């Protein structure tokens, strides 16, 4: 259910990850609120975008050099267009339910700024519609479940507890050397879980995808000074026209935090020193910077 955990996820969260986080813990120096001290303190006065800081898509990190040193423009391909559209459908369907705007998928589709998603087609429309309907239905079920359990709760209280999500919450990552305009896909403020959605035609899980939620957890910690221990990467792919959703739920442990800091520092150095890291032996053919490297 995208950001609603299923029974399996809840078992993992309650019986494995939360006890692990409480037992092992995280050293205060690796919490985002220690942003003014090493090792989290940024080495340079830069504002790195989160997507470049965390991406390991380019094996040498040349995408950072091309984007931030050379000012190269990426080529928007089908994969990027699909990701943009589905991210929009997810956030707008949740907001439509939470804000009680109740817009239909058809109304939303007519208002999609198609010029910003150049390769949009009917197949994408079908994918977006299936996700939209699924989310609205999931929200309705959660809301009704809460309403039946708490008959005296106010409307506002019901909505805030049944769907406890900040969707694309605007954050500044400047304390950590990041952009001032960050929007994590979702933050569950009751369970303190940070979510990041990956839209893929074929499921492809990678360990480095965990860096995104790790980065956002550090940013939330730097601003609100509360610990965020759990991250979740939500993979959305399709079997025919039906969405398939798989969640990778994990403890944002010290190893992940150190890895994220290392990535940020290395990429900042690439920018400051204007150092071209070169091309790897093999590049993914759908890389958005392909034309700049081949």
* Least distance between ligand SF4 and beta carbon 188 (Å): 33
Which is nearer to ligand SF4, 53 or 130 (by Cβ)? 53
**x/- binding map, residues 241-280, to ligand SF4, per CB under 6 A?**
--------------------------------------xx
- Residues forming beta bridges with residue 246, ordered by sequence position: 235
Task: Find how far residue 233's CA is from the centre of its chain.
Answer: 7
Which is nearer to ligand SF4, 77 or 200 (by Cβ)? 77
Which is nearer to ligand SF4, 180 or 280 (by Cβ)? 280
**x/- binding map, residues 58-97, to ligand SF4, per CB under 6 A?**
x-x-xx--x-------------------------------
* Least distance between ligand SF4 and beta carbon 209 (Å): 17
The 3-state DSSP class for residue 252 equals coil
Q: How far is CA 278 from CA 61, 99, 271, 292, in A?
A: 8, 48, 14, 12
Residue ranges of the alpha helices (H) in the chain? Answer: 7-12, 18-24, 50-54, 62-64, 78-98, 105-111, 122-149, 155-162, 210-224, 254-272, 290-293
Given the structure tokens 């392909």, which residue do they identify? 290
* Sheet strand arrangement including 230-239: 165-167, 186-188, 193-199, 230-239, 242-251
CA distance 123 to 115: 17
* Least distance between ligand SF4 and beta carbon 279 (Å): 4
Which is nearer to ligand SF4, 66 or 219 (by Cβ)? 66
Which is nearer to ligand SF4, 31 or 62 (by Cβ)? 62
CA distance 198 to 26: 26
* Least distance between ligand SF4 and beta carbon 78 (Å): 16
**Binders of ligand SF4: how many residues, by CB under 6 A?**
13
- Residues forming beta bridges with residue 198, ordered by sequence position: 235
- Choices 14-22, 41-49, 164-172, 283-291 (CB under 6 A): range interacting with ligand SF4: 283-291
Interface contacts to ligand SF4, rule CB under 6 A: 58, 60, 62-63, 66, 279-280, 283-284, 287, 289-290, 293
């Amino acid at each position: 259910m995208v950001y609603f955990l299923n029974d399996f996820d809840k078992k993992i969260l309650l019986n494995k990850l939360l006890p692990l986080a409480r037992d092992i813990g995280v050293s205060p120096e690796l919490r985002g609120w220690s942003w003014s001290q090493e090792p989290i303190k940024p080495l340079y006065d830069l504002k790195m975008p989160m997507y470049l800081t965390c991406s390991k898509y380019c094996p040498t990190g040349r995408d950072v050099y091309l984007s931030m040193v050379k000012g190269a423009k990426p080529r928007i391909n089908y994969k990027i267009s699909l990701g943009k559209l589905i991210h929009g459908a997810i956030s707008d369907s949740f907001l439509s339910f939470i804000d009680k705007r109740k817009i239909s998928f058809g109304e939303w589709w007519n208002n999609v700024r198609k010029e910003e998603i150049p390769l949009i087609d009917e197949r994408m429309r079908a994918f977006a519609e299936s996700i939209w309907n699924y989310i609205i239905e999931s929200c309705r079920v959660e809301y009704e479940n809460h309403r039946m359990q708490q008959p005296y709760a106010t409307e506002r209280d019901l909505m805030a507890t049944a769907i406890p999500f900040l969707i694309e919450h605007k954050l500044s990552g400047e304390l950590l050397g990041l952009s001032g305009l960050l929007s994590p896909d979702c933050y569950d403020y009751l369970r303190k879980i940070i979510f990041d959605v990956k839209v893929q035609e074929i499921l492809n899980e990678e360990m480095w995808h965990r860096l995104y939620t790790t980065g956002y957890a550090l940013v939330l910690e730097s601003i609100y000074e509360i610990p965020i221990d759990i991250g979740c990467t939500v993979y959305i792919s399709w079997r025919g026209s039906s969405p398939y959703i798989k969640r990778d739920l994990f403890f944002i442990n010290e190893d992940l935090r150190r890895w994220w800091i290392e990535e940020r520092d290395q990429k900042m150095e690439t920018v400051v020193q204007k150092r071209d890291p070169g091309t790897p032996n093999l590049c993914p053919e759908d890389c958005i910077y392909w034309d700049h490297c081949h």
